[in-house]
């Protein structure tokens, strides 16, 4: 297991962390020039989170074209569990690219696809026989999981949850529960999709997690009476911890209760582990905290360290319920991404990164929980393993979202050398998706900057 005690490695070109006395002026001159070129050519909808143009990355560090160094707590939106440019992953990519880059597996098969399927199946808890289909992105995995569920059950309807994020393609976007920026002016959406509440305790009208869970389960049962007949529902799709929704952690018994309701009506359970998987929550898969074996599990993001790859892992009979050539695609499971994915699994296993995630999560919680006492702006600190978030509000009593202050904190942190992302249905949650290879020195420095950035923001009311 990594001890996380070594200091950050030196940059390949000049770069240093900013400090409180010397914040960075962002963007730097070279980054500004690139961003100006982008502004003239790319649509305005491609909003830039941090005005930093990367030159190279190493582990949990990003170095920009101006020579500035940043600790990356966004991790490529959760794609970089093993960090930037891990040598084993880079080597696997290069070796595969020399051999061949593309065939389309269904035209000329290659062993890397099969090897990855074998290893993925072995990581899933339980003894149920499973099969694997690979795709290009998390959204594609969602789309194909819905196709598989509908084909197997012969039913059309899908149930999703308030606050969910499942992607940007049309079925995935329909399942997603956030208008801005994902759905505005993009309708009509896919029919036969229904939505029920998710147990978001911080914003619940009920006092305890148990009562909130019971309420949400009751609303799911009610939906079978008031909204959609259960024998027309193919699947319920759920994130074990909501990602874009704000890192909302349900009571750990919630998914098991959902699965019991599904089983009663022969409805499939699809668990979207695209963001929660690959060690992020302190287990290889978040379902390991929750004692469920889903019919279909979706993987992506960190699966190939940022290369386009995703997977649907499902019960054998469910996966085989699709007609000949009913799923697939030209680039799905491409060999270079498969080689990277095999190397990622090697790194996770040999470097003990799943255990590291729990240690990292504890350190983040220890640093962030005191902020609730130090700043009225901090409404909630929550997470599971290394999947941690801080929700900001302008009024604690009313829990009024603070999206402007959230943007300010993220900007101020970047000026001091720490890259962060926002999340939440109101855009007021700071989410931490740190590479699991981060060192203690890097993590402690980044958390100190986050604390300073929050405390520097004009505070809300307690």
Domain assignment present for residue 5? The answer is: no
Which pLDDT score is estimated for 459? 75
Domain residues for 248?
89-350
Domain assignment present for residue 14? The answer is: no
Per-residue pLDDT tens over the stretch 185-241: 999 999 999 999 999 999 999 999 999 999 999 999 999 999 999 999 999 999 999
Check pLDDT > 50 for residue 14: no
Per-residue pLDDT tens over the stretch 373-405: 999 999 999 999 999 999 999 999 999 999 999
Helix 440-455, helix 353-368: angle, nearest 10: 30
Structure tokens at 74: 């966004």
Both 176 and 299 in a single domain? yes
Per-residue pLDDT tens over the stretch 434-449: 999 999 999 999 999 9
What CATH number has the domain bearing residue 194? Answer: 3.40.640.10
Both 34 and 156 in a single domain? no
Both 325 and 360 in a single domain? no
Both 309 and 377 in a single domain? no
Backbone angles phi, psi at 281, to 5 degrees: -95, 10
Both 213 and 306 in a single domain? yes
* Contacts (Cβ under 8 Å, ≥6 apart) of 347: 82, 86, 88, 89, 353
* Contacts (Cβ under 8 Å, ≥6 apart) of 9: 58, 59, 61
Check pLDDT > 70 for residue 20: no
CA dihedral 213, 218, 219, 222 (to 10 degrees): 170
Which among 357, 437, 422, 420 is positioned nearest to 70, based on CA atoms? 420
Per-residue pLDDT tens over the stretch 135-159: 999 999 999 999 999 999 999 999 9
What CATH number has the domain bearing residue 408? Answer: 3.90.1150.10
Structure tokens at 300: 């992506």
Domain assignment present for residue 165? The answer is: yes
Both 109 and 208 in a single domain? yes
Among 316, 334, 350, the domain boundary falls at 350
Both 94 and 152 in a single domain? yes
| Number of helices (H), then strands (E), in the chain | 14, 16
Among 350, 384, 408, the domain boundary falls at 350
CA distances to 81, 145, 223, 388 from 150, in Å: 32, 9, 19, 34
Which pLDDT score is estimated for 22? 77
Domain assignment present for residue 286? The answer is: yes
Looking at the 3D structure of the chain, how many domains does it have?
Answer: 2
Instruction: Tell me the pLDDT of the chain averaged across its residues.
Output: 94
Both 129 and 269 in a single domain? yes
**How far is 10 from 8, CA to CA, in rounded Å?**
6
Among 350, 366, 390, the domain boundary falls at 350
DSSP strands (E only) in 152-295? 157-161, 193-196, 233-238, 268-272
Which pLDDT score is estimated for 458? 84
Beta-bridge mates of residue 19: 22
Both 376 and 264 in a single domain? no
- What DSSP letter does each residue of 390-438 carry, written as one string? EEEEEETTTTEE-HHHHHHHHHHHHHTTEE-EEESTTS-EEEE---TT-
Both 374 and 236 in a single domain? no
C-beta of residue 460 within 8 angstroms of C-beta of residue 395: yes
Domain assignment present for residue 378? The answer is: yes
Structure tokens at 136: 């290009």
Other CB atoms within a 10 A radius of the CB of residue 145 amount to 32
Confidence of residue 18 (pLDDT cuts 50, 70, 90): low
Both 174 and 228 in a single domain? yes
Which pLDDT score is estimated for 9? 39
Check pLDDT > 50 for residue 8: no
Both 307 and 358 in a single domain? no
């Amino acid at each position: 297991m990594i001890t996380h005690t070594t200091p950050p490695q030196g940059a390949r070109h000049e770069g240093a962390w900013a400090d409180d006395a010397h914040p960075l002026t962002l963007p730097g001159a070279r980054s500004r020039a690139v961003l100006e070129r982008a502004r003239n050519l790319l649509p305005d909808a491609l909003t830039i989170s941090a005005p930093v143009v990367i030159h190279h990355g190493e582990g949990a560090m990003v170095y920009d074209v101006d020579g500035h160094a940043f600790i990356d707590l966004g991790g490529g939106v959760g794609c970089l569990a093993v960090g930037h440019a891990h040598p084993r992953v880079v080597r696997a990519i290069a070796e595969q690219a020399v051999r061949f880059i593309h065939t389309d597996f269904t035209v000329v098969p290659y062993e890397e696809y099969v090897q990855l399927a074998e290893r993925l199946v072995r990581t899933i808890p339980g003894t149920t026989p499973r099969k694997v289909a690979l795709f290009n992105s998390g959204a594609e995995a969602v789309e194909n999981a819905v196709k598989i569920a509908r084909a197997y059950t012969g039913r059309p309807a899908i149930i999703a949850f308030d606050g969910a994020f499942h992607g940007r393609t049309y079925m995935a976007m329909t399942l997603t529960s956030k208008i801005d920026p994902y759905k505005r002016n993009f309708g009509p959406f896919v029919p036969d999709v229904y939505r029920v509440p998710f147990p978001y305790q911080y914003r619940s009208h009920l006092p305890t997690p148990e009562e909130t869970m019971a309420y949400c389960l009751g609303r799911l049962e009610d939906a079978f009476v008031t909204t959609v007949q259960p024998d027309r529902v193919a699947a319920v799709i759920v994130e074990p911890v909501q990602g874009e929704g704000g890192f909302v952690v349900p009571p750990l018994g919630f998914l098991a209760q959902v699965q019991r309701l599904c089983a009663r009506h022969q409805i499939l359970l699809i668990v979207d582990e695209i963001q929660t998987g690959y060690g992020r929550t302190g287990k290889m898969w978040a379902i390991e905290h929750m004692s469920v074996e889903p019919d279909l599990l979706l993987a992506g993001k960190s699966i190939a360290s940022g290369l386009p790859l995703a997977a649907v892992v499902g019960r054998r009979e469910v996966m085989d319920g699709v007609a000949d050539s009913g799923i697939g695609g030209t680039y799905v499971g491409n060999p270079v991404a498969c080689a990277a994915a095999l190397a990622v699994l090697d790194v996770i296993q040999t470097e003990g990164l799943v255990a590291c995630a729990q240690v990292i999560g504890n350190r983040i919680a220890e640093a962030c929980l005191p902020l609730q006492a130090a700043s009225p702006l901090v409404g909630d600190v929550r997470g599971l393993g290394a999947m941690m978030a801080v929700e900001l509000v302008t009024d604690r009593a009313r829990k009024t979202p603070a999206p402007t202050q959230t943007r300010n904190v993220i900007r101020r942190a970047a000026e001091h050398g720490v890259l962060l992302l926002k999340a939440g249905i109101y855009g007021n949650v700071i989410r931490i998706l740190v590479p699991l290879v981060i060192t203690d020195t890097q993590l402690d420095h980044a958390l100190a900057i986050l604390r300073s950035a929050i405390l520097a923001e004009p505070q809300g009311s307690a």
